[in-house]
Amino acid sequence: MSHSLFSLGFGVGTQNRQGAWLEVFYAQPLLNPSVEIVAAIAPILGYSEGNQAITFTVTLALQMADALKGVDATQAALLSRLAESHTPLVATLLADDAALTSTPEAYLKLHLLSHRLVKPHGLNLAGVFPQLPNVAWTSQGAIDIGELAERQLEARLRGELLEVFSVDKFPKMTDYVVPAGVRIADAARLRLGAYVGEGTTVMHEGFVNFNAGTEGPGMIEGRVSAGVFVGKGSDLGGGCSTMGTLSGGGNIVIKVGEGCLIGANAGIGIPLGDRNTVESGLYVTAGTKVALLDEQNQLVKVVKARELAGQPDLLFRRNSETGAVECKTHKSAIELNEALHAHN
């Protein structure tokens, strides 16, 4: 029987003392693996169909490594290394991109994003939160919250300090993957599941959530919230904010086009088209009333910001005398009216 899979990952992870998965590390996750790979390992794992996370022993790891030698040398080498493991091993096979039903599945999809195999909004992440346990991320790795106090005491009795870096569902991305061609000033501010494109610099105050990120190149000194994707050549100034789908943005997908600048302490609650600029300190939400000015600085009409969503070559600013939010464009009044009517 031949199988075609959406994704496959051989992982090594951490379980709590009851055997429940806390986290999984996939060194080389695969998107759309070849039928030959799946055919070679399926009988060894006892896989038949569907989305499954199957634990396996070091003995089975060696058997799969041997079966893959003439099929995929890279995955064969990985399985040979996994056979050295003293911690639990799991093979996660996803026949299709369905809602998540296990912790290893959730971790595989987060890896696909951070390995740049899939862009934000390219995966079905339904059910991700229930499948990610809240974990203490420590100097000794992932620890179940209910076991933390005992582990802290054990460490002290050995004369050691068990340091707790965070208590969260998501670990930091760089403990699992460091994408090529990026600079990250504070690794704790990027969650696993972030997509960080080549040429991206994330400074100390920058933050990138899961299922969000940057096409690259670009400079991130503000917050890229869940679901937000920043186009190439765009800069997010210090302390600026993008409203994610988890923070009141609802079903509107907030994205930032190419060549945009969001000034320091500014923010957006609408998608920006290419070459947009938002003045420092100005937060533009979907319902913000905006005075639309043409190339001669003449008022065309007052609109809600959502009507300007995705339009290119706009400058959002606040009038320093009246306090009104204004939007300047290179277009004439006639072109603007036509564009607005077409948008409606």
d(CA 9, CA 110): 12
Q: Which two tokens stand for residue 192?
A: 């696993």
Please spell the DSSP secondary structure of 213-263, one letter per residue: EE-SSEEE-SEE-TT-EE-TTEEE-TT-EE--TTTT-TT---EE-TT-EE-
Ligand-binding site membership of 319 (annotated): yes
Q: Which residues are catalytic?
A: 221
| Residue indicated by tokens 């499954």 | 52
Ligand-binding site membership of 189 (annotated): no
- Answer yes or no: is pLDDT of 333 > 70: no
Q: Is the pTM value of this prediction over 0.95?
A: no
239-275 per-residue burial string, b: 16 or more CB within 10 A, e: under 16: bbbbbbbebebeebebbbbbbbbbbeebbbbbbbbbb
- Answer yes or no: is pLDDT of 344 > 60: no
Ligand-binding site membership of 320 (annotated): yes
Q: Tell me which of 257 and 1 has the higher pLDDT.
A: 257
pLDDT digits over 223-267, tens only?
A: 999 999 999 999 999 999 998 865 444 567 899 999 999 999 999
State residue 118's pLDDT score.
98
